[in-house]
Amino acid sequence: MSITNSLSSALPFWHLSIISSFDRLRCEENLKHNGILGYKSKRDASTGITDHLTATMTGLTSLPPELFACILDCVPSIDLQQTTISLLRILSHDRIPNWRRYLFYHIHLKSSDSVWTLDYHLQRTPDDANFIKKFSLATWITDVDAAINVVLMIPELEWLSLCIDINFTPDHLRRLFHKPMPNLRYLSLRFRPNKSIWRPSMNRRPPHTHYDSVLESLAGWPSAELPAISVVEDLVDDPTGRSAQPLNSFHLNNLSDLASSPLLARTHALRLRIPGREIVRFLRPSRYRSVLPRITVLDLSTSCLSDLNVSKLLHSLPRLRHLVLDHCNLFDDARTRDWAAFAHHCMLARKDLDFERLVNRRLVALGNASSPGRSHPREVRFLPRVSALRTLSLSVPAHVDADARRVLLAEFRRGWAEAVAMFNGIVSAARRSRTEEGVVTYRFPWPGEVGNALREYTYLGMVAVDDNDEFSRLSGVRDAEDCPVVCLAGQRGREEGIEHAKGCGHSVGWDIWEDTL
């Protein structure tokens, strides 16, 4: 059996390629426009379509091979294999340059049979594994050993997406991830918990941590250029009809180890959905470890967190620009004015100003009590931490209608503008006092940095801002109208009649994850 036939027999096959599908649709539209194109019967119409497709195939065979390569280069990778198979069914292999590269570039398997077929083929023809750059397993029912064999046979894998259920034992997962994949640029792991361990009481969570070996293995990988990683655990339906219950499929300490691991030190996008679990505190840095220092896109949907958690998270991850918090029950019972306060604390860390006042009071108390040889600033100015947030995606309860959503968004913009005005006032005061004797300006340390000043007041210390260029950069005035894009559509907004905000965090995520989970 040929490679093309073996793959097409195992994979869902669309019998027409993109080119021939377009021609068929165009032909059918012409038939409809002319009342079946003037044919006297449906049989004549069918004959007309067949003649048109025959002419199309004849036209395809006359095209130069380079044009087919250009066409295939423009096909989305997830459709590339099926389009290549379609062309190979009507053209000779020499008409498509480097056809193996197109055929194997992105393997997308949706059935257990296709996994076994590919494993069997690569065992016989291992060189074909060199062409595979992207591999996605999109089925829960599979031969686990065959799936692992396939992944481990790919020497230069760049993109890996797996559906992992209870059939993957901890030993399977250790075998799969025990060795780093240095070329990997995208990793997506979707877990389905074992429904048989469901417990009806929130106070009787099962001590089940079936998937911990995945986090443990990944946390042990060395530093690598892995821009995007997704770890999603599906919700388990409550058999009694009540809301879904969270399961302990992971020990959260392992999650903390992964977030601070060398592997994620250069990660820009992280999707981490652990339903009903309080995971934010495991994503915050300490004096001894840096957490997600380069993260710009973060999706924590379905987790459990408060508005205070969000504020702390934003200011411990200063590069974070896009935050998705769908179905986190943040504001299910919140009043309208709570949205303004939430926006204010998203923009400005709520404790930073109190911290400055505390230090200055202690400096005043020290006064002339400074010991010989040791001096203290007369006064300190702290440049507050401000959020880099550009998009925020949230869910609101179903009963919140369009008018109510507009009110909530207006309150958010008001709170954000008030915080910007306060920030501008603080930096203006810092500029005025910069030349005063005994007044020192400090900033908060960046991720992975430990300040060498005021360590007696904060475990991470503070960093003195002595450089004029750095001061100018950190004390720039913000525009009160430059508010982040806030989207309240949730994951299923269009299904519920709620349009997504233009340029929202959901659209950013769709481009990164190449799915709509």
pLDDT in tens, 349-390: 777 878 888 888 888 887 755 555 556 788 889 888 888 999
What digits encode the pLDDT tens for the residues 118-168? 999 999 999 999 999 999 999 998 899 999 999 999 999 999 999 998 889
pLDDT at 55: 54
Q: Which has the higher per-residue pLDDT, 398 or 90?
A: 90
Say whether pLDDT at 183 is over 50: yes
User: CA dihedral in degrees (430, 434, 438, 443; nearest 10)?
Assistant: 50
Name the pLDDT band for 108 (thresholds 50, 70, 90). Answer: very high
pLDDT at 384: 85
b/e for 371-400, b at 16 or more Cβ within 10 A? eeeeeebeebbbbbbbbebbbbbbbbeeeb
Distance from C-alpha of 172 to C-alpha of 390, rounded to nearest angstrom: 40
pLDDT in tens, 429-453: 888 888 888 888 998 888 777 788 8
Q: Most confidently modeled of 10-14, 37-41, 389-393?
A: 389-393
Task: Report angle CA 258, 261, 262 to the nearest 5 degrees.
Answer: 145
Give the pLDDT of residue 272.
95
Give the mean model confidence (pLDDT) for residues 24-43.
41
Of residues 32 and 356, more confidently modeled: 356
The strand pair at 228-233 and 186-191 is best described as parallel
Residue 28 has a pLDDT of 42
| Of 73-87, 281-295, 363-377, 396-410, the least confident | 363-377
Query: Model-level pTM?
Result: 0.83
Average pLDDT over residues 333-346: 86
Task: Identify the bridge partners of residue 383 per DSSP, sorted by sequence position.
Answer: 443
* Cα gap 163→141, rounded to integer Å: 9
pLDDT value of residue 17: 37
Three-class DSSP category at 340: helix
Please give the backbone phi and psi of residue 303, each rounded to the nearest 5 degrees, phi first. -80, 175
% of residues, the chain, pLDDT over 70: 79
CA distance 80 to 437: 68
What is the phi/psi pair of residue 485, to 5°? -75, 120
Does residue 348 surpass a pLDDT of 80?
yes
pLDDT at 57: 56
- Tokens for 293? 């220092």
- List, in sequence order, every residue forming a beta bridge with 271; answer none if it has no partner: 230, 299
For the segment 488-496, the average pLDDT, to the nearest whole number, is 76
> Is the confidence at residue 18, as pLDDT, over 80?
no
Token readout for 14 is: 């669309």
More confident residue, 127 or 4: 127
Better pLDDT: 243 or 272 = 272
Residues forming beta bridges with residue 443, ordered by sequence position: 383, 463
Which residues, at least 6 apart from 60, have a Cβ–Cβ distance to it below 8 Å? 19, 20, 87, 90, 91
Residue-level pLDDT at 371:
56
Weakest mean pLDDT among 66-70, 245-249, 395-399: 245-249
The tokens describing 249, both together, are 């499929």
Q: In what order do the strands lie in the sheet with 439-443?
A: 379-383, 439-443, 463-464
pLDDT band at 331 (very low <50, low <70, confident <90, very high): confident
CB 501 within 8 A of CB 513: no
User: For the CA atoms of the chain, what is the radius of gyration?
Assistant: 29
Residue whose token pair is 């913009």? 413
Mean pLDDT estimate for the chain? 81
From CA 189, how far away is CA 185, in angstroms rounded?
14
The pLDDT score that the predictor gives to residue 32 is 43
Total Cβ atoms within 10 A of residue 158: 15
**Predicted pLDDT at 195:** 57
3-state DSSP assignment of residue 236: coil
Q: Is 370 exposed, middle or buried (0-12, 13-18, 19+ CB in 10 A)?
A: exposed
Residue with tokens 């993957």, as numbered in its chain: 168
Which pLDDT score is estimated for 237?
61
Nearest C-alpha neighbor of 287 from the set 314, 260, 267: 260
